Amino acid sequence: DTAVSQTPKYLVTQMGNDKSIKCEQNLGHDTMYWYKQDSKKFLKIMFSYNNKELIINETVPNRFSPKSPDKAHLNLHINSLELGDSAVYFCASSQDFGTHSYNEQFFGPGTRLTVL
């Protein structure tokens, strides 16, 4: 069973299009995240949701809009795609938000987005 799954795995699209990436976790975790990994492998957090509530929003253009229909899902919608959006996007989840102790983040397999 896949703990954190993402679809699609690959996404190739034209500049200006709108696209979505879906994420689901079956770990029963309370917190989910979106990370962007650029071509140099740098991994940077974009958003974090806890029980469907936005907790972290890291200076991400408002073309990016996360949506959490329930605590097991966190989707990422991107409007008006730009060349610089090309990257690998990782979804992750962790348990027990707010316990003031680190909880392991479990990452999905990633979605490679290529904007032409």
Partner 1 sequence: QQQVKQSPQSLIVQKGGISIINCAYENTAFDYFPWYQQFPGKGPALLIAIRPDVSEKKEGRFTISFNKSAKQFSLHIMDSQPGDSATYFCAAYHSGGYQKVTFGIGTKLQVIP
Enumerate binding residues for partner 1 (CB under 8 A): 4, 31, 33, 40-45, 48, 50, 55-56, 90, 92, 94, 97-98, 100-110
Q: Are 53 and 106 in contact (CB under 8 A)?
A: no
Residue type present at position 21: I
Q: Residue 106 phi/psi, 5° resolution?
A: -105, 125
Q: For residues 72 and 110, which CB has a smaller minimum distance to partner 1 in the complex?
A: 110
As measured in angstroms, the least distance from the Cβ of 80 to partner 1 is: 27
Place of tokens 């200006």: 16
As measured in angstroms, the least distance from the Cβ of 2 to partner 1 is: 11
Structure tokens at 1: 């069973």
Q: For residues 19 and 110, which CB has a smaller minimum distance to partner 1 in the complex?
A: 110
Pick the closest to residue 32 from 94, 82, 97 (CA basis). 94
As measured in angstroms, the least distance from the Cβ of 84 to partner 1 is: 18
